Amino acid sequence: MNDIWLACHAPLDSNSGKHVLAVANELGRRGNSVIACAPEHASENVKIENGVKFYTFAELVNGAKKTPPDLIHIWTPREKMRELYRSICKQFAAEIPYIVHREDNEMIILADQMRISLDEIEEVRRGLRKLEVPGHLTHPAYGSQMLASASGVTALIESLTVNLPEGLPHKVFAPGFDPIFSTPVLNAGRIVRDRYRISSKTFLVTYTGNVHDSNVAEVRSLYLAIALANRMGTPVRLLRTGSDCAQLDDHGVEELRKHEINLGFVPRNDLPLLIHAADLLIQPGAVDDWNAQRFPSKLPEFLASGRPVMLPKVNLGTFLQNGVNAIVLEKANAQAITTGLLEWLPRKDCLQKIGAEGRAFAEKYLKWSKAVDRIDELYRRILERPLSVKKADKESN
């Protein structure tokens, strides 16, 4: 039995935290001793099972555990995670093997939030300029060093493994879906339409997700598409959940939000109703470096619901077939989404078939058990290597 710690940069009810929790629960089911840790407790109840234990960072650093783990799986090389690892090693006076998980292009997030260019970030990485980076972001130089010293890497998409140190073991896994999204919700459409006074003649699009600096432009394009479709005679309402960490509004705010029902933060257990009520689920986005190096966590849940999904031909969209198991756009900008809405919303029978095929895709490929099969292979590879090999690898980096 292996003693594994999984460390998340955010609470376990965040998108990343849900991934950590799903992996931890599956590892526990397989007989491992597992600890899931996060900066703080979740704001809503999360289901921790199969013997998995939860600790905050402060609890671990202050001696809640008396023996070190065999392996730490660290979600992203952000500064707070680097500091956590250093504190744990200091506590046990040992260099503990660790794996870094990659879920986004951290440098694009850094550039967007700190308003600096990628060229400036490269100068920081090379030591040509200094940059104070807050704990929730990744330092260009220190993050690279953390990857170089890791025993392995996991990633949500193959493109995030490009430029890893030569010979560094890694595994790519697709995130799974929570079964609450695949369970049918009876009369979801009628319940939601009655609750929010939406006419039966109006189409309903649901988008569940936060708005932040890196996706604000693409979410704005979804709002614009909804407004354009209505202007062109197709009545559509946008049912929106999530927080606005970046301002969506600039010019034309009243027009953009005219057709929106904004519910803000919604408890996770209430999301399936809103998703199952939709005529169409949309993931907007350009085919660019940002989207090519991420895997939106809502997509497995969208597909598992059996409702039709529209998305750009990037990340998961490259594995789906347009008109078969999804509506795949060459780029999901405002114009393309508007055209897609006008073309597909009246075709209810086709949408029903697409939704069913999307669900079948999720059932076949987007299961947490499959993801943990791949993660477990990496764990075994690392833990079965002789200690001398691990030391030699670190010294070579």
Q: Which residue has the higher pLDDT, 197 or 250?
A: 197
Residue 387 has pLDDT above 60, yes or no: no
The DSSP secondary structure of 87-143, one letter per residue, reads HHHHHHTS---EEEEE-S-HHHHHHHHHT--HHHHHHHHTTSS-----TTS--HHHH
Task: List the helix and strand counts (H, then E) for the chain.
Answer: 16, 13
For residue 361, name the pLDDT band (cuts at 50, 70, 90). very high
Residue-wise pLDDT tens digits, 55-107 = 999 999 998 999 999 999 999 999 999 999 999 999 999 999 999 999 999 99
> What is the reported pLDDT for 386?
56
Residue 35 has pLDDT above 90, yes or no: yes
> What is the reported pLDDT for 390?
45
Indicate if 359 and 262 belong to the same structural domain. yes
85: domain CATH number is 3.40.50.2000
The rounded distance, in Å, linking the Cα atoms of 134 and 49 is: 33
> What is the reported pLDDT for 252?
59
The DSSP secondary structure of 204-234, one letter per residue, reads EEEEE--B-TTTHHHHHHHHHHHHHHHHTT-
The rounded distance, in Å, linking the Cα atoms of 274 and 286 is: 25
> What is the reported pLDDT for 250?
62
Q: Percentage of the chain surpassing pLDDT 90?
A: 86
Number of domains in the chain: 2
Indicate if 343 and 218 belong to the same structural domain. yes
Dmax (CA) for the chain in angstroms is 69
Residue 189 has pLDDT above 80, yes or no: yes
Task: Say which amino acid occupies 141.
Answer: A
Tokens coding 76: 């992203």
| C-alpha separations of 233 from 202, 230, 276, 277, 338 in Å | 11, 5, 25, 22, 12
Mean pLDDT of 259-286: 95
> What is the reported pLDDT for 253?
63
Indicate if 258 and 222 belong to the same structural domain. yes
Residue 392 has pLDDT above 50, yes or no: no
Residue-wise pLDDT tens digits, 212-231 = 888 899 999 999 999 999 99
Indicate if 163 and 229 belong to the same structural domain. no
Residue 394 has pLDDT above 70, yes or no: no
User: Any idea of the CA torsion for 248, 237, 267, 314, to the nearest 10 degrees?
Assistant: -60
Please enumerate in sequence order all residues whose Cβ is within 8 A of that of 64, keeping only pairs 6 or more positions apart, or say none: 55
For residue 372, name the pLDDT band (cuts at 50, 70, 90). very high
Indicate if 115 and 238 belong to the same structural domain. no
For residue 324, name the pLDDT band (cuts at 50, 70, 90). very high
> What is the reported pLDDT for 396?
38
Tokens coding 43: 């704001």
Mean pLDDT of 231-242: 96
Indicate if 205 and 332 belong to the same structural domain. yes
> What is the reported pLDDT for 43?
77
Please enumerate in sequence order all residues whose Cβ is within 8 A of that of 56, keeping only pairs 6 or more positions apart, or say none: 37, 38, 39, 40, 41
Residue-wise pLDDT tens digits, 154-188 = 999 999 999 899 999 999 999 999 999 999 999 99
> What is the reported pLDDT for 397?
39
Judge contact between 57 and 81, C-beta under 8 A. no
> What is the reported pLDDT for 249?
67
Indicate if 311 and 388 belong to the same structural domain. no
Indicate if 392 and 311 belong to the same structural domain. no
Residue-wise pLDDT tens digits, 340-353 = 999 999 999 999 99
35, β-bridge pairs: 5, 53
The rounded distance, in Å, linking the Cα atoms of 193 and 186 is: 13
Segments forming the whole domain that contains residue 102: 3-176+368-396
> What is the reported pLDDT for 251?
54
Of the candidates 354, 371, 271, the one whose C-alpha atom is nearest the C-alpha of residue 311 is 354
Indicate if 73 and 101 belong to the same structural domain. yes
Judge contact between 55 and 6, C-beta under 8 A. no
Mean pLDDT of 196-211: 95
Q: Over the Cα atoms of the chain, what is R_g?
A: 22
Q: How many CA atoms lie within 13 A of 227 on its CB side?
A: 14
Indicate if 138 and 255 belong to the same structural domain. no
Indicate if 184 and 304 belong to the same structural domain. yes
Mean pLDDT of 312-321: 97
Indicate if 83 and 149 belong to the same structural domain. yes
Mean residue pLDDT of the chain comes to 93
